[in-house]
Amino acid sequence: MVKKGGEMGCDIRVDEDLKDVTGDIIARACFGSSFSKGKTIFSMIRDLLIAITRRSVLFRFNGFTDMVFGSKKHGDVNIDELEKKLDSSIWETVKEREMECVEGDKKDVMQLILAGAMRSCDGNLWDKSAYRRFVVDNCKNIYFAGHESTAVSVSWCLMFLALNPTWQNRIRDEILSSCKNGIPDEESIPNLKTVTMVVQETMRLYPPAPLVMREASADIRLGNLVVPKGVCIWTLIPTLHRDPEIWGADANEFKPERFSEGISKACKYPQLYIPFGLGPRQCLGKNFAMMEIKVLVSLIVSKFSFTLSPTYQHSPNYKLLVEPQPGVVIRVVGQ
């Protein structure tokens, strides 16, 4: 597409392509399969998310939707039926790999999940239905968490870089000086400080998920606030990440240099920077996701120059993920 565009370049909607890339990465790295094999699963997960998040964010979690609206059916989509089909598809993929994992031929997350589930089953701790539930739920979480959230973060990175070409140049210089043959590897990735700052600032302004929810397991006092047992506390991450009292008067501006000395010096209370959550329930895939985002951003910026397309419409959509609703369209030319 870029070659055909010549000197004028071409407009590309990158967010959909990035979902294909991150889908392939998570499928290969964690399950030993190609994206084409897991495409049906990804498609069903997407349909399920759309069905669940069709209503306002205040009415889409746990059993609250059922309590208020009395049904899990949204439009022409029945969430229960879709979830059953999704579980069956994942289980079929698991069964294809089960013997390989038992024999230890595969070294991936799927093997670890099955090995752990089988150890528990052998100890008479779980029945077969619980074994299947454990395996399917873990696979489902990994498919979801490692797929669209990463693609969305890279999409927002490219949007900001399209608006700030000087940061594209800084990244290219860094890659030339740090990466052998211009390809990031396990030795050079930790040295990509500029890329890291851009990613951190992007995830501050547009964190992958908009909410952190916790239920009080006992009565607790938070400062002057008393939270009774059973009350759910919803933390709006974008609000924390854009609070001028925490980040300064330029809290709404894209300034990666604020992370030049790390997260601890970037804001008043560094524990309030939570794109991956915080504490014992912090995202287990944090390091994998950060590595993946840095590699993708580095490779794209090193090969292409780009600006924001005149057709781009800025409309962040706050659902289960903070997504660019009409997509991210950039005008790309070759280096």
Q: Which segments are annotated as binding site for heme? A: 283
Tokens coding 105: 């031929």
Long-range contacts formed by 262-270: CB under 8 A, 24+ apart: 263/200, 266/200
Residues within the annotated binding site? 283
> Which residues is 106 bridged to in the sheet?
none
DSSP notation for 213-224: EEE-SS-EEETT
Q: Is 149 helix (H, G, I), strand (E, B) or coil?
A: helix
Tokens coding 254: 């894209």
What's the chain's length in residues?
Answer: 335
Q: Rounded distance, CA 102 to CA 97, Å? A: 9
Torsion of CA 251, 254, 258, 260, to 10 degrees: 160
Determine contact, residues 163/205, Cβ cutoff 8 Å.
no
Looking up tokens 């895939």 gives 285
Q: Rounded distance, CA 331 to CA 210, Å? A: 28
Q: Is 108 helix (H, G, I), strand (E, B) or coil?
A: coil
Determine contact, residues 74/54, Cβ cutoff 8 Å.
yes
Which phi-psi region, left, alpha or beta, contains residue 318 (left: φ > 0; alpha: ψ -120 to 50)?
A: beta
Which phi-psi region, left, alpha or beta, contains residue 316 (left: φ > 0; alpha: ψ -120 to 50)?
A: beta
Cβ neighbourhood burial of 237 (10 Å; 0-12, 13-18, 19+): buried
> Which residues is 220 bridged to in the sheet?
227
Closest CA to 296 of 40, 20, 110, 30: 20
